Amino acid sequence: MNLYAYAGNSPISFSDPFGLKECPPDCSPGEGPAPTRQEVVKQATKNANAIIAAFTLLEGGWRTVFGKLTKAAVTTPYGAAVQSADPEAFALRAQIARGQQVFRGGQFGASAAAEGQFWATESPLAAGFASRVGAATLGEGAPQFILGGTVAADATFVTRAAPGVGRNVGGALEIVVPSGSVRLDFFHMP
């Protein structure tokens, strides 16, 4: 992908009014045959995909493994958690990288604590928390403990929509980290 290919890689000498082909600077969009709606939509989709790919690279959603560009993922007991291309997930990713606090809640004997891999940016005491984040071990009652901290600066992590678990529908954004990648700020028993 060449992000500098606009106007035949010569934006001073040419313009690209429809994003389809270069033309001399004195041409106007009305000259020559106008592109069809299908051509415009196809080019707009191509341009949008290039922008998303560039943003993904900049935000660290991709990494280089053995010289190949690979989508960032975190291994969990339920399979690989992959970075979402959703703009909200990227915005959250940037906040987490800047030190946004993360939380998780649980039940003694049933939930992971500091070693947990699935974290949220809202308090587990918020109404409907378990349903939004798909928390498997949080039932109808309040959590027995709450942890808060920040993702370690050198940790790999992904942000994505939480999958549903059982009756909990999920859908809220979550942060998935390798086990032990959150530096704890507090442990609270409500």
Which of 59, 78, 99 is the last residue before a domain boundary?
Answer: 59
Whether residue 81 is found in the same domain as residue 140: yes
Which of 17, 38, 59 is the last residue before a domain boundary?
Answer: 59
Whether residue 39 is found in the same domain as residue 77: no
Whether residue 77 is found in the same domain as residue 48: no
Entry pTM:
0.64
Is residue 75 predicted with pLDDT exceeding 70?
yes
Is residue 8 predicted with pLDDT exceeding 80?
no
Whether residue 30 is found in the same domain as residue 105: no
- 173 in Cβ contact with 130 (< 8 Å): no
- Segment 78-124, tens digit of pLDDT: 889 988 888 898 889 889 999 999 999 988 888 889 999 999 999 99
Whether residue 38 is found in the same domain as residue 120: no
- Kindly state whether residue 65 falls inside one of the protein's structural domains: no
Which of the two residues, 28 and 113, has the higher pLDDT score? 113
- Kindly state whether residue 64 falls inside one of the protein's structural domains: no
Specify the number of domains making up the chain.
2
Q: Which helix (H) or strand (E) holds 188?
A: strand 182-188
Q: What is the mean pLDDT of the chain?
A: 77
Is residue 76 predicted with pLDDT exceeding 70?
yes
Is residue 20 predicted with pLDDT exceeding 60?
no
Q: Which helix (H) or strand (E) holds 180?
A: none
Residue 65 confidence class, pLDDT cut points 50, 70, 90:
very low
Whether residue 149 is found in the same domain as residue 125: yes
Going by C-alpha positions, the residue among 119, 125, 88 that lies closest to residue 183 is: 119
The range of the structural domain enclosing residue 31 comes to 6-59
Q: How many CA atoms lie within 13 A of 38 on its CB side?
A: 0
DSSP characters for 149-163? EEE-TT---EEEEPP
